[in-house]
Amino acid sequence: MSVTKAQSGHIIFGPKFKWKSLSPVFDDMLRNFLRESGQMPPEEDIIRMFIKLNLIDLDKNRKPEGWNRRGRVRMVFPITDQPQMYLRASMKSAEVVRMTESISSMLKKAKIAHKVKYDDLKYIAQ
C-alpha cells in the first residue's frame, strides 16, 4: 500500500552510515528540496552560504542543520541515536511524499543505505 499524503516523510539511514557520506549529494538534495517546496532563496549567494555551512558539518562527519526555517516544509536532521532526516509540513500533503521519494531516489543513486517511513514523528513541539 503506497502513501499518497503525509505530514512527515522520514529517511532513516543504515547502521554503517556516516554523515560525511551525504557530502557529494547534499548540494543537489537541498536545491531540489527548496525548488520543489517553493522556498528557493531569491539570491544564489544565500543558497551557496547554506550549502557551505551544511557541508562544513558533513565533511567533519557531523549532523547538518538542514532547512529548519519557517516555510511550507522543513528539512530536519534531528538529534537521535539512529541518524535520520525528515521533511515536515504543517498538514498532510502529496508534496511531502513526492519530495521524500525524490530525496530517497538521490540517496539510492549515491548508494546510501536508508529506509523511508511516513508520519512517524514521536514528538511534535506545538
What mean pLDDT is predicted for residues 29-33?
Answer: 96
pLDDT digits (tens, 9 = 90+) for 39-68: 999 999 999 999 999 999 999 999 999 988
Would you say how long the chain is, in residues? Answer: 126
| Rounded to 5°, angle at Cα 86 from 1 and 73 | 100
Query: 65, 63, 34: which is closest to 47 by C-alpha?
Result: 34
What domains lie within the chain, and their CATH numbers? 6-118 (3.30.70)
Share of the chain above pLDDT 70, in %: 95
Nine-digit cell string for 106:
538521490
Residue 48: predicted pLDDT: 95
pTM: 0.89
107: CB partners within 8 A, 6+ apart: 11, 25, 29, 114
116: CB partners within 8 A, 6+ apart: 9, 10, 11, 12, 100, 101, 104
